[in-house]
Amino acid sequence: MTLQSFHNQEEKVFKIREKFNWLTEKIKHIPFLDLPIQFDFESVQKEAAKILKWAPNFIEPTYWDPESIQNHANKNQGRALIEYVPDSFFMHDTDHRLLKSMRSTNSYYNQFRSKEQYHSDGRIQFFKTELATELPQTTQLLYKISDYPMRCRIMKIQANCHVGWHTHHTDHLTNDFYDFAVAQLPLDCEETCLYSVRSNNSAYPQVYSRPARKGDLFVFNSYHQHNVVNTSNHDRIALFANYSFDYEPFLEFLAPYVRDYDGPLINC
């Protein structure tokens, strides 16, 4: 890709952001946005039940001590369905900063960056893993939401374990743009497993929670701090899928749901 075509692509993206500013600004404050689309939930559920081999889900090593990382990796596992590198059994949560910034000098990320490929319009290309081809109904659902799914996985949180409070937008004070949506679909869980969202910048944040209900497809707010607490004695298995707020067809898909949403809004 030449520098000129890169700049042209950037211009296009900024125009899309301007056109859909109302949407990205509103959805930022929506804790959970239901996506009531038709799909064959039972088939998706059955496909996930075929997964017997799980990989540890590591997290950003910068902020955690090695013991905590190991603990997290053991209790939170998953399998990649769609990744930005073709050979991706790995579950390293290399984080979205890789997609946002190509300037990192971190050698860990560089080994993956060298394998990245791009669409002709500048979007990072994502690849289906072998597992995705073995789970066709699940993959079909991912593409039904948008024909540009980014990183998608099936995730397992072990019984009586949790994913702690975190936000995917740590630079919300300097760069307020909400980059991508996280869709969740609980596949196997008890309703005592809870999804929660709270505001980023408040000493007394209000917490918005929702039980994990099988078959509920929704956008889980990842702009604000969120967590998943599985207090049940049952593993929680869920589909986790990322979609870009810079991709117009996805925004067109979301628009009616965001426009009609009249539930609680995160007050910050």
Q: By three-state DSSP, how is residue 63 classified?
A: helix
Smallest separation, CB 220 to Fe ion (Å): 8
- Site for Fe ion (CB under 5 A): how many residues? 1
* Residue placing its CB nearer to Fe ion in the complex, 24 or 222: 222
Smallest separation, CB 168 to Fe ion (Å): 6
Nearest to 23 by CA among 267, 255, 260: 255
* Residue placing its CB nearer to Fe ion in the complex, 222 or 244: 222
How many angstroms separate the CA atoms of 75 and 4, rounded?
Answer: 46
Residue 61 per-residue DSSP state: G
Alpha helices in the chain (DSSP H): 3-19, 21-27, 41-49, 66-75, 97-100, 107-113, 130-134, 136-145, 248-260
Smallest separation, CB 137 to Fe ion (Å): 25
Closest residue to Fe ion using C-beta atoms:
222
- Cβ atoms within 10 Å, residue 157: 24
Taking residues 183 to 222 in sequence order and writing x for each that binds Fe ion by CB under 5 A, - otherwise, the string is ---------------------------------------x
* Residue placing its CB nearer to Fe ion in the complex, 9 or 195: 195
CA distances from 86 to 50, 58, 82, 89 (A): 22, 19, 9, 9
* Residue placing its CB nearer to Fe ion in the complex, 146 or 196: 196
Taking residues 215 to 244 in sequence order and writing x for each that binds Fe ion by CB under 5 A, - otherwise, the string is -------x----------------------
* Residue placing its CB nearer to Fe ion in the complex, 137 or 170: 170
* Residue placing its CB nearer to Fe ion in the complex, 57 or 222: 222
* Residue placing its CB nearer to Fe ion in the complex, 146 or 222: 222
Give the tokens for residue 266.
């995160």
Smallest separation, CB 188 to Fe ion (Å): 19
How many angstroms separate the CA atoms of 226 and 217, rounded?
Answer: 17
Partners of 127 in the β-ladder: 83
Smallest separation, CB 222 to Fe ion (Å): 5
Gyration radius of the chain's alpha carbons: 18
Sheet holding 207-211, edge to edge: 161-166, 225-230, 193-198, 207-211
Smallest separation, CB 170 to Fe ion (Å): 11
How many angstroms separate the CA atoms of 250 and 96, rounded?
Answer: 18
Smallest separation, CB 228 to Fe ion (Å): 8
Interface residues with Fe ion (CB under 5 A) are 222
